[in-house]
Amino acid sequence: MFSAHLKSKAPTLLMDADRDRLRAADEAALGSTLSTIRRAAEAAALRLILNDVMDGATPVVVMGDLNDAQLSVTTSVVSGEPSYRQFAASRAGAKSDRGLYAAANLQQYRSLRDVYYTYIHEGVHESLDHVLVSQHFYDYADARLWSFRQMRILNDHVEDAPPEFDASSDHAPVVTTFDFNPQRD
């Protein structure tokens, strides 16, 4: 199991010498770009570690604040973008030695409603916190050991509060449940 917290979307602060030469708008753009580059580098480093661990036989869970949306480049680097089965006759997802399935997708395939957000900033609801699982947790994988039951986002306390608001966390916990249910031959 891996717990991750990648660089936030907040702009990286530039050194005073650089800031003196830039307009505020330029500083914000460069700071955000530097944060994205750092987050991408962290995602790539985590993926390299996962590639060493994921041999097809070892169950893997990655969870935490990846500070980007599920389909973002950085989250996709971490997940390895495995294929999902969309219809019964498909073999998609039957084997994915290095891919990690998003619990959010597993829940959305079963849900009639989507209220998946773990963070609010300036009125924008985003899902920055993720649970990603190896093929051992994917219902249609030949190597399945656990079946997905549900995912819940405990986001009742998450508000778009001003910075001076002192909450225990501005992110919602993601709770995912699986049942031991090995794939039968």
User: What pLDDT score does 119 carry?
Assistant: 85
The gap from C-alpha 21 to its chain's centroid, in whole angstroms, comes to 36
pLDDT score at 146: 97
Gap between the Cα atoms of 59 and 146, Å rounded: 10
Cα 17 from Cα 117, distance rounded (Å): 39
Q: Is residue 10 part of a domain?
A: yes
**pLDDT given at position 167:** 58
pLDDT score for 154:
85
In a domain, 185, yes or no: no
Short-list 145, 121, 144, 137, CA closest to 177:
137
Helix (H) or strand (E) holding 129: strand 129-133
Tokens read off for 29 = 């753009």
Whether residue 18 is contained in a domain is answered as: yes
First-to-last C-alpha distance (Å) of the chain: 27
* 153 occurs within a structural domain: yes
For the sheet with 101-102, list strands across it: 2-5, 61-65, 129-133, 101-102
Per-residue pLDDT of the chain (185 residues; tens, 9 = 90+): 999 999 999 999 887 766 667 777 788 889 999 999 999 999 999 999 999 999 889 999 999 999 999 999 999 999 999 988 888 888 888 888 899 999 998 888 877 666 678 888 878 888 899 999 999 999 999 999 999 999 998 877 766 655 555 556 678 889 999 999 998 87
- Residue 20 has a pLDDT of 67
3-class DSSP assignment, residue 35: helix
Is residue 130 within 8 A of residue 66, CB to CB? The reply is: yes
**Residue 23 confidence (pLDDT):** 76
Both tokens assigned to 69:
């949306």
**Total structural domains within the chain:** 1
Q: How much is the pLDDT for 131?
A: 97
> Which residues constitute the domain of residue 93?
2-180
Question: What pLDDT score was predicted for residue 113?
Answer: 66
Please tell me the pTM assigned to this model: 0.85
Q: Is residue 43 part of a domain?
A: yes
Helix or strand holding residue 28 (H, E):
helix 24-53
